[in-house]
Structure 1
């Protein structure tokens, strides 16, 4: 299902008339598909912040309605569109498992400014668009490079944390799932359980890719129903 989604959206962007020439060039030359060496992956269900903004607005990012309908994506696009074009690039290398010493509180959703400061807008607090989930839900990785995984760690914010007013720190998270390894594949899915929560929360997924010491950090906003 999701393996086709990014390709289809990119095809539409190429075929559509350019709304703004400069933005079109940025999309062309900085897109993950324009630079195969930068092709990686991210969590598409529940949608990571950068992927969700690109999926909803990538073909319509000049629409002024975004400011009211999706204000957190609007501020991210205004800060730097490359954050969305390169939604697969929220990774750090050679951390040797030392997540908390390398990524400081308040910088978790940008993976410690993984794109050289371009993705810091992903750390901003506010009404990020959420995906409805129950206590048990699936996590879906889409990976164009089929890196595989040594493991995934999935954390969920504790009840009482408010993503609309509070910056995310390590102490706000509860580990709810640690997986085993997965062979190379473009799509990897697994289920997690996070009972006792309601309302807006952040699902924080750490994906340790198998091809080298490359670790991805993705914030997904969810609404526990």
Structure 2
């Protein structure tokens, strides 16, 4: 009897620890919905065959420090997270795009499902000649973000908006949004396909 109770308590302890371990990272998530991100397109059903990301659009979390560190080339849109590999599939360049105007001001919007101390939000755009039918690499992106919004360690609200001028581009491009977390080793990644 004593062994059964000990085994039961041990099992409950392991289950509780597992629950805490798996729910820890689930507390801080977010994604862009302006321009619409690939994970939102999967989450709202606009794009099909998306795997697990369709149920977890705000969960694209990976190592911070982009572009010097962070997800490997070809795995950037999924934040290096293999569970969401469908986000790195270029789908032959057929991801739906958001129409934007070169040089115009755009209001970027993040949906934050759990708040976290924030270093900044950064936006990168692909270089001229970008091929949307291939997985995204660092070499595809302009080396500097076209917009950086410092946050100084503050926690964002449920919705974060900030306006910035779009770069001078034409045709199909990809905007990579990176939300850098201040008090963990991670950042959130959002790839948005656009047409200038």
- TM-score between both structures, scaled by the size of structure 1: 0.66
C-alpha separation in 2, matches of 1:162 and 1:177:
22
In the alignment, which residue of structure 2 is the partner of 1:176? Answer: 146
Q: Which residue of 2 aligns with 1:199?
A: 171
CA shift for structure 1 position 83: 1.1
> 32, 35, 38: which one pairs with 2:26?
38
Alpha-carbon distance in structure 1 between the residues aligned to 2:54 and 2:72:
22
Specify the alignment match of 1:127 in structure 2.
94
CA distance 1:162–1:134, shift in 2 (3 Å)? same
Q: Report SS of the residue matched to 1:220.
A: strand
Unaligned runs of 5+ in 2: 1-22
Equivalent positions of 1:111-150 (< 5 A) are 111-112=79-80, 114=81, 117-125=82-90, 126-135=93-102, 136-150=105-119
8 Å Cα contact 1:148/1:209 also seen in 2: yes
Contact 2:60 2:189 in 1 (8 A): yes
The total of aligned residue pairs comes to 165
CA distance in 1, matches of 2:49, 2:163: 32
1:204/1:220 contact within 8 Å kept: yes
Query: Cα offset for 1:154?
Result: 0.5
The answer on whether the counterparts of 1:159 and 1:196 sit within 8 Å (CA) in structure 2 is no
Q: Residues of 1 paired with 2:94 and 2:137: CA distance?
A: 17
2:129 to 143, 160, 174: 160
Q: CA deviation at 1:147?
A: 1.9
Where does residue 58 of structure 2 map in the other structure?
A: 88
Unaligned runs of 5+ in 1: 1-34, 58-69
**TM-aligned CA distance change 1:191 to 1:45, over 3 Å:** same
Q: Secondary structure at the match of 1:197?
A: coil
TM-score of the two chains, using structure 2 as the length reference = 0.75
CA distance in 2 between counterparts of 1:98 and 1:202 reads 16
Q: Which has the larger radius of gyration?
A: 2
RMSD of aligned alpha carbons: 2.1
Provide the secondary structure at the position in 1 that maps to 2:54: helix
Distance 1:102 1:180 in 2: 19
Deviations 1:97-141 (A, max 9, x none): 2644442211111111x2xx2211111113101111112312111
CA–CA separation in structure 2 for the residues paired with 1:111 and 1:37? 14
Say if 1:98 and 1:36 are closer, same or farther in 2 by CA, change over 3 A: closer
Structure 2 residue matching 1:202: 3-state secondary structure: strand
